[in-house]
Amino acid sequence: MLEALGLDPDVEAVYRGMLGDPSGGVAELGARLGLGEAQVRHGLDRLVDLDLLRPSRESPGALRAVSPELGLELLLHQQEEELARRQEELARSKAAAAQVVSEFAGLRPNTEIDGAERLVGMDAIQSRLEELAQGLARECLAILPGSAMSEASLDASRPLDRRALGRGIEMRSVYQESIRNHPPTLAYARWLAQEGGQVRTSPLLPPRLLIFDRTVAVVPIDPANSRLGALCTRAPGIVASLLNLFDQTWESAVPLGSERPRATDSKPSAGELELLKLLASGMTDEAAGKRLGVSLRTVRRQMSALMERLNATSRFEAGLKAAREGWL
């Protein structure tokens, strides 16, 4: 009952025993309480340290228990003093951390370009993302193209996402449908949804995007090579445009686990439709596969199936018939 005040069950039992009958020695007290001699001696020592047992005036060499009213007040006072000491230590630690951040801020290998912070290298990006995640107050939005995330990226993201969700942060993420072909990424997306995040998928996504509390956005410098670094910006105009891009992407996506309309003899699936649009725009099979997050083999297999459905002998003819059907 008194564990919150620092008394474990054995120590509390010894205190209660001393309050009820302080006569007798260690052996007698232990017999009454059903405790061993070592347990009783430990309890007595602990109670003396807490000032709940004091020397008896009537029986020299014996101990008397302080009344519960005074004893519990003493314990509360001790805890208040300990809390104040810890708060002082925390304040000093925060001040020291702020000083370190101030001293090392100028040593970061980043530069300012038109109001945006340039993050060079994966370590710099991860550090900045950790800072932004720690400072989240309401919401984190993410567009995550590609069929697979690296194991290192997933391992680094999990504790950040868990802490954010634990603090009640709303998280909305859009993955590419092709993550279904990569079990680790699919498992992570499902875990995120189970933990309380909102997860959707779409066959075609814009470049990677993270938005924190609708005020800070992080985008890759080169969408084709994320290892080159990222840009972190607070510029209201840029962030507003990126928010609009996210909202449009989110509305066209479907919840993870929901089935998109499947292909029929009269209409292609959402993924096949996006493939047709990409190829019709002049994109190569390889480039289209990268945009959709699927392999070159998958692109060619899907295109072959579309040509067969359209009864076309060439891609050109397939394009004409797809347009005639109103698919493009």
The model's pLDDT over 206-265, given as tens digits with 9 standing for 90+, comes to: 888 899 999 998 888 777 776 667 888 888 878 888 888 888 888 878 888 755 544 445
The tokens for 32 are: 């009454």
**Is residue 286 packed enough to be buried (19+ CB in 10 Å), middle (13-18) or exposed (0-12)?**
exposed
Predicted model pTM? 0.52
Pseudo-torsion of CA 78, 83, 88, 89, nearest 10°? Answer: 100
pLDDT of residue 2: 60
Q: Which residues of the chain have pLDDT under 50?
A: 97, 100-108, 261-264
Query: Which residues, in sequence order, are CB contacts of 92 under 8 Å at separation 6+?
Result: none
Query: What pLDDT, on the 0 to 100 scale, is given for residue 147?
Result: 65
CA distances from 261 to 3, 156, 247, 249, 270 (A): 59, 34, 22, 18, 7
Exposed e or buried b for every residue in 132-163, given b needs 16+ CB within 10 A? bbeebeeebbbbbbbbbbeeebbebbeebbee
pLDDT of 170 reads: 92
pLDDT at position 226: 63
In terms of Cβ atoms closer than 10 Å to its own Cβ (0-12, 13-18, 19+), residue 208 is middle
CA-based angle 25:27:32, to the nearest 5? 95
Which pLDDT tens digit goes with each residue over 19-52? 777 777 778 777 787 888 888 788 888 878 777 7
Beta carbons within 8 Å of 310's beta carbon, 6+ residues apart: 317, 318, 321, 322, 325
Looking at residue 90, what is its pLDDT? Answer: 53
What are the chain's domains? 1-107 (1.10.10.10), 111-255 (3.30.870.10), 270-324 (1.10.10.10)
pLDDT, the chain, mean: 76
Q: How far apart are CA 140 and CA 217, in angstroms?
A: 10
Nearest to 192 by CA among 171, 214, 220, 167: 171
Q: How many CB atoms lie within 10 A of CB 288?
A: 22
